[in-house]
Amino acid sequence: MAVRQYPVIITVRDRLSCLQQLLKWLENMGQNEIWLCDNDSTYPPLVEFLKNTKHNVIYNKFNLGHRA
């Protein structure tokens, strides 16, 4: 059975391990179009992860919270 594809948009700020778990689950479910909306993260490991991820990343210049 083919998985329906929907764009998945995730707001992100300074929480890497939770994000990695969620991305792994989404990828295992077959989701391909994943967008990460970064709310001005300052946590160095997350900043580095966002630079190298295969997913689409939108960088906000300040924390927009849930409105991002």
The string of pLDDT tens digits covering residues 32-42 is: 999 999 999 99
| Residue 51: inside a domain | yes
| Residue 3: inside a domain | no
| Residue 44: inside a domain | yes
- Residue 41: the pLDDT is 96
Question: pLDDT for 38-58, tens place per residue?
Answer: 999 999 999 999 999 999 999
* Residue 59 structural domain: 8-67
Question: pLDDT for 5-41, tens place per residue?
Answer: 889 999 999 999 999 999 999 999 999 999 999 999 9
| Residue 57: inside a domain | yes
Domain count, the chain: 1
| Residue 1: inside a domain | no
| Residue 34: inside a domain | yes
| Residue 2: inside a domain | no
pTM: 0.87
Q: How far apart are CA 17 and CA 4, in angstroms?
A: 26
Nearest Cα neighbor of 53 from 61, 27, 42 is 27
Look at residue 1 and tell me whether its pLDDT is greater than 80: no
